[in-house]
Amino acid sequence: MLKAVNLSFAYPGQEVLKDISLEVNSGDFLGILGPNGTGKSTLFKLLTGVINPCHGEITLENRSLKDFSRLSLARKMAVVPQEGPGDFPFTCREYVMMGRFPYLGFLGAETPRDWELVASAMEQTQTSGLVQRRLNQLSGGERQRVTLARALTQQGDLLLLDEPISHLDIGFQLETMEILTRINREQKTTIILILHDLNLAARFCRKLILLHQGRIFAQGKAAEVLTPESLESVFRVKTQITVKDGIPVISLEESCRDKVQKT
Amino acid sequence: MTKTPNRSLYLWLGLLLLLVSCWVSLLLGTSGVGLPQLILTFKKMGGRSLEVIFYQLRLPRILLAAEVGMALAVAGASYQAVLRNPLADPYIIGSSAGAAVGACLASFFKLSHSFLGMWALPLMAFLGAVGAMLLVYRLARVGDKLPVETFLLAGVVVGSLLWALVSFLLTIQRQDIKQIVFWLMGPFQAASWGQVLILGIYLLIGGGILYLLSPSLNLISVGEETALHSGVEVEKIKLYTLLAASLITAAAVSVSGIIGFVGLVVPHTIRLLLGADNRILLPGSAILGAILLLWADNFSRVVFSPQEIPVGIVTTLIGAPFFLWLLNQRKKKGT
């Protein structure tokens, strides 16, 4: 479905990504992991067509990403970026309706079907109670779920999320991941997301990509990617990994960043 | 407040209020000319001097004040959406300062004695405003993008620079200072049908473009990335919006001088009353802006008559306390 071949990207004087090749199949649930500053966000911007690669190509359904207009891309792929929804007092329902933008008619005229889709997206994300609330009155967890609802109304086959749970407490983190899993199972939506929490990634993502210094360090199933060796060379941490029901559970031991620098 | 039919009802009510305000304003004035005289004039029995008072003095002035109010409020609302900042003002891009420089130059070189005559000052003010706007665009542009931060910064810097130039021109110029100072604070006595027509055309085209862009503006105001991923060609829409809003502001400023607070207070009020949806916000701001400036102008020409106070002072004197009251209400409601 989404395929990247030999991607590389550099800002002037600084190479960020090199030789990235990946393939995402329909129905996948892919997590992208890696330390800060390793090019995760750049890869995200490449995959969502915000920036173009210096080398290599990205194709969506065998068509180059560059050939899509923003409008036709918006019908295929919904994106939850990191930015918050701003300071204006839109109601949550108005905000969720904005996801219908690529389908709406003249002056954004809504049809009953658009209202239905908005209602069902808010139900799926458990935000139905927030319909009349203003965006600037939401808590972090509510905001994240409303943003997800907006992305769902776009009805893309592909959903990309940039660190969707980084600022949430563990309850909301788990809840968000469960909602995503349900969407992935029930609507066959392909999901790609950037994560920091290794345990949640191991538990929910069916496929992982571990980035290290702008390259793909490892990719595959959680148990193959998350090993004590790989985590030590990528994150510079010592870990203990136990496998429970086929899912690796990572417990942190100590950082070895300083020691590496000293020796 | 939730469903669109209710909100458009408010818009129609506002429009009605605007029409009533226009009629009432026709009756207000210093020359003791009121309803009986207006009826006589309608029956074409009022005589030449009454016709002049109603058709050449009061009506163009009323319409011009309403148009300027519309222009500033719509431009303010658009800037706020596209810059994602509820505190943006139509003068943020330095257009007021540019217009002031143009006006000063016009009076400095005594252009009103040239073939341009009474059009010299508004024309120079318009050119000044457009010039300032183009300068800000050039400075703010990074590659093919127009980042909000650099745009705001460039606007502030160009504005300060041009205001310094205005002060300089006023200092070295001894006579005619009163004319400039009065123009800066918002003169409507000189309103003419020509001005009404020209500003009307700008308002129709610019306002029309902005209204058509309003669904995209909604998305941009919640976030540029969000807008991009929802199918909005963000950079294009930003450019069109800023151009349209700037031209409207320039046209308004050239006939009205600098009128503070309308572009800030009006959209804010409409947002509190009817929500943030630009499809409602833009027409709502236009109507409320017109009503507000119309009554400010009535106040300025009637209350201290025969002395007139510049309307810019009135809007700020009403606008600032009102804004504070509004903020206070909001704090109490905890919203």
More confident site: A180 or B4: A180
CB of A85 within 8 Å of a chain B CB? The answer is yes
Helices and strands (H, E) in chain A, number of each type: 10, 12
Say yes or no for a CB contact (<8 Å) between A134 and B279.
no
- CATH T-level topology, domain B47-333: ABC transporter involved in vitamin B12 uptake, BtuC (1.10.3470)
More confident site: B284 or B167: B284
d(CA A25, CA B139): 45
Say yes or no for a CB contact (<8 Å) between A85 and B222.
yes
CB of A74 within 8 Å of a chain B CB? The answer is yes
What band does B314 get if pLDDT is binned at 50, 70 and 90? confident
Residues A217 and A257 in one domain: no
What band does B175 get if pLDDT is binned at 50, 70 and 90? low
Size of interface A-B (CB pairs under 8 A): 96
Running DSSP on this structure, what letter comes out for residue A107? G
Q: Could you tell me if A19 and A7 are in contact, meaning their C-beta atoms sit under 8 angstroms apart?
A: yes
Interface test with B, best of A11, A88, A95 (most B CBs within 10 A): A88
* Model confidence pTM above 0.80: yes
Highest mean pLDDT among A36-40, B3-7, B189-193, B330-334: A36-40
Q: Could you tell me if B66 and B53 are in contact, meaning their C-beta atoms sit under 8 angstroms apart?
A: no
User: Tokens 């993008």 — which residue?
Assistant: B145
* Domain that includes residue A188, residue range: 2-221
Amino acid at A205: C
Least Cα separation, residue A99 to chain B (angstroms):
6
Average pLDDT, chain B: 85
Report CA-CA distances (Å) from A98 to A71, A151, A153, B165, B276. 13, 9, 8, 45, 13
The domain spanning residue A111 has which CATH number? 3.40.50.300
User: Measured between CB atoms, which of B211, B230, B277 is closest to A74?
Assistant: B230
**Is pLDDT at B151 greater than 90 in this prediction?**
no
- Cα maximum dimension of chain B: 65
User: A194: which residues sit within 8 A by CB, 6+ positions away?
Assistant: A31, A32, A33, A40, A41, A44, A161, A162, A163
Q: What angle do CA A199, A203, A206 make, to 5 degrees?
A: 125
Which of the residue ranges A211-225, B113-127, B128-142 would you say has the lowest mean pLDDT?
B113-127
Q: What is the mean pLDDT of residues B28-38?
A: 75
Q: Pick the residue from chain B with its C-alpha nearest to A151.
A: B230
Least Cα separation, residue B106 to chain A (angstroms):
41
From chain B residues 272-291, the ones with a CB under 8 A of any chain A CB are 272, 275-277, 279
Read off the pLDDT of residues B57-80 as tens digits, 9 standing for 90 and up. Answer: 889 999 999 999 999 999 999 999
Q: Pick the residue from chain B with its C-alpha nearest to A102.
A: B231
CB of B226 within 8 Å of a chain A CB? The answer is yes
Q: Could you tell me if A179 and A203 are in contact, meaning their C-beta atoms sit under 8 angstroms apart?
A: no
What are the backbone dihedrals phi and psi of residue A2, each rounded to the nearest 5 degrees, phi first?
-110, 125
Chain B neighbors of A73, CB-CB under 8 A: 229, 231
Least Cα separation, residue B12 to chain A (angstroms):
19
**Is pLDDT at B121 greater than 80 in this prediction?**
no
The residues facing A254 across adjacent strands are A238
Residues A131 and A238 in one domain: no
| ipTM score for this prediction | 0.90
Of B199, B315, B319, B324, the closest CA to residue B250 belongs to: B199
The full set of domain ranges for chain B reads: 47-333
Per-residue pLDDT of chain A (263 residues; tens, 9 = 90+): 899 999 999 988 888 999 999 999 999 999 999 998 899 999 999 999 999 999 999 999 999 999 999 999 999 999 999 887 877 999 999 999 999 999 998 888 899 999 999 999 999 999 999 999 999 888 888 999 999 999 999 999 999 999 999 888 899 899 999 999 999 999 999 999 999 999 999 999 999 999 999 999 999 999 899 999 999 999 999 999 998 888 889 998 888 766 555 44
**A29-33 and A2-11: which strand pairing?**
unpaired
The residue length of chain A stands at: 263
pLDDT recorded at residue B2:
43
CB of B144 within 8 Å of a chain A CB? The answer is no
Residues A139 and A251 in one domain: no
pLDDT recorded at residue B144:
74
More confident site: B162 or B184: B162
**Is pLDDT at B296 greater than 70 in this prediction?**
yes
**Is pLDDT at B200 greater than 50 in this prediction?**
yes
Residues A129 and A164 in one domain: yes
User: Measured between CB atoms, which of B212, B226, B231 is closest to A83?
Assistant: B226
**Is pLDDT at B334 greater than 90 in this prediction?**
no
Least Cα separation, residue A80 to chain B (angstroms):
7
CB of A90 within 8 Å of a chain B CB? The answer is yes
Residues A257 and A141 in one domain: no
Q: Which helix (H) or strand (E) holds A153?
A: helix A140-153
More confident site: A126 or B175: A126
SS3 per-residue string spanning chain B: CCCHHHHHHHHHHHHHHHHHHHHHHHHCCCCCCCHHHHHHHHCCCCCHHHHHHHHHHHHHHHHHHHHHHHHHHHHHHHHHHHCCCCCCCHHHHCHHHHHHHHHHHHHHCCHHHCCCHHHHHHHHHHHHHHHHHHHHHHHHCECCECCHHHHHHHHHHHHHHHHHHHHHHHHHCCCCHHHHHHHHCCCCCCCCHHHHHHHHHHHHHHHHHHHHCHHHHHHHHHCHHHHHHCCCCHHHHHHHHHHHHHHHHHHHHHHHCCCCCHHHHHHHHHHHHHCCCHHHHHHHHHHHHHHHHHHHHHHHHHCCCCCCCCHHHHHHHHHHHHHHHHHHHHHHHCC
Our count of domains for chain A comes to: 2
Read off the pLDDT of residues B227-266 as tens digits, 9 standing for 90 and up. Answer: 999 999 998 999 899 889 988 998 888 888 888 888 988 9
Chain A neighbors of B215, CB-CB under 8 A: 101, 104, 107-108
Residues A131 and A237 in one domain: no
CB of A101 within 8 Å of a chain B CB? The answer is yes
Residues A198 and A238 in one domain: no
**Is pLDDT at B41 greater than 60 in this prediction?**
yes
CA atoms within 13 A on the CB side of B282: 25
**Is pLDDT at B85 greater than 70 in this prediction?**
yes
Say yes or no for a CB contact (<8 Å) between A81 and B229.
yes
Interface test with B, best of A51, A83, A101, A110 (most B CBs within 10 A): A101
User: Tokens 């106070």 — which residue?
Assistant: B309
Residues A28 and A73 in one domain: yes
CB of B221 within 8 Å of a chain A CB? The answer is yes
